[in-house]
């Protein structure tokens, strides 16, 4: 069963607009962590934002915020004021407590920012 | 700053060759991982290691083996390369308290392997 689902293979957004990238997850572990990574065309994976399952507030890192809805098991990434440099693949990932350091990744969403 | 390096950015090998992909991290991380990345499939875990000389199979270990003789180095071995192993290979490392977030993984730049 897919544990991390990203249902948007590709998305377009106009420069300076906000965009939401969807991520849903499936776990019965009460303790887990959620990550978002960005992968530009150069290939390197860049950490963006982290949300712990017990965190009371939604995580924010600059223009990135994570819309964490625990009951719905969703962890959507919101990018505000999109820039051309935001064009990249975006991956959602989850770590479950009983899995040690392993991360499970979603299929990814390719975001294209239009000028 | 954590640095994870991989021995090659691009590699072209012939079917049947033995291929070594090397990964080195400089932050004394216990955990190291090898993934392959294919379009539409995300990152899939091949093997991982929690300690020196220790290895565990990931989701797609068939056709691969690994070696971890030193803490900082984790090697992926394709015993007999096949065309269906053409892919992007990413190495990562992590530690329980090795970054700003527990078990945050730090990635190398990737190796794009083509098997002809």
Please indicate whether, in this complex, the C-beta atoms of A50 and B109 are within 8 angstroms of each other.
no
Cα(B48)–Cα(B54) distance, integer angstroms = 9
**Does any CB of chain B come closer than 8 Å to the CB of residue A70?**
no
Nearest to B107 among A45, A52, A95 (CB): A45
pLDDT recorded at residue A99: 75
Rounded to a whole number of angstroms, the distance from the CA of B88 to the nearest CA of chain A is 9
**Does any CB of chain B come closer than 8 Å to the CB of residue A97?**
no
Chain A residues with CB under 8 Å of B112 CB are 43
Residue B1 has pLDDT above 80, yes or no: no
**Does any CB of chain B come closer than 8 Å to the CB of residue A54?**
no
Q: What is the tens place of the pLDDT at every residue in B66-116?
A: 999 999 999 999 999 999 999 999 999 988 765 677 788 999 999 999 999
pLDDT recorded at residue A63: 97
- Cα B86 to its chain centre, rounded Å, is 14
pLDDT recorded at residue B53: 86
Q: What is the tens place of the pLDDT at every residue in A2-59?
A: 699 999 999 999 999 999 999 999 999 898 999 999 999 988 899 999 999 999 899 9
Nearest to A105 among B42, B102, B103 (CB): B42
pLDDT recorded at residue A2: 67
Chain A residues with CB under 8 Å of B9 CB are 43
Residue A91 has pLDDT above 90, yes or no: yes
Residue A1's pLDDT band (cuts 50, 70, 90): low
Indicate the average pLDDT of chain B. Answer: 92
Q: What is the tens place of the pLDDT at every residue in B21-40?
A: 999 999 888 999 999 999 88
Cα(B62)–Cα(B11) distance, integer angstroms = 20
Calculate mean pLDDT across residues B44-72. Answer: 94
Please indicate whether, in this complex, the C-beta atoms of B42 and A9 are within 8 angstroms of each other.
no
């Amino acid at each position: 069963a897919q544990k991390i689902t990203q249902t948007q293979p590709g998305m377009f957004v106009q420069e300076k607009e906000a965009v939401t990238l969807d991520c849903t997850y499936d776990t019965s572990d009460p303790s887990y962590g959620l990550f978002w990574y960005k992968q530009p065309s150069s290939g390197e994976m860049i950490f963006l934002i982290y949300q712990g399952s017990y965190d009371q507030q939604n995580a924010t890192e600059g223009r990135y915020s994570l819309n964490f809805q625990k009951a719905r098991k969703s962890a959507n990434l919101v990018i505000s004021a999109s820039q051309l440099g935001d064009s990249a693949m975006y991956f959602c990932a989850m770590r479950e407590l009983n899995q040690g350091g392993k991360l499970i990744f979603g299929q990814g969403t390719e975001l294209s920012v239009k000028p | 700053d954590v640095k994870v390096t991989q021995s090659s950015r691009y590699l072209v090998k012939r079917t049947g060759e033995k291929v070594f992909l090397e990964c080195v991290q400089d932050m004394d991380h216990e955990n190291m991982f090898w993934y392959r990345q294919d379009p539409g499939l995300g990152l899939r875990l091949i093997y991982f290691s929690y300690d020196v000389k220790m290895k565990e199979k990931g989701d797609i270990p068939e056709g691969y083996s690994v070696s971890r003789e030193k803490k900082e180095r984790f090697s992926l071995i394709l015993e007999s390369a096949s065309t269906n192993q053409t892919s992007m290979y990413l190495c990562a490392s992590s530690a329980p308290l090795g970054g700003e977030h527990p078990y945050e993984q730090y990635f190398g730049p990737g190796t794009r392997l083509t098997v002809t």
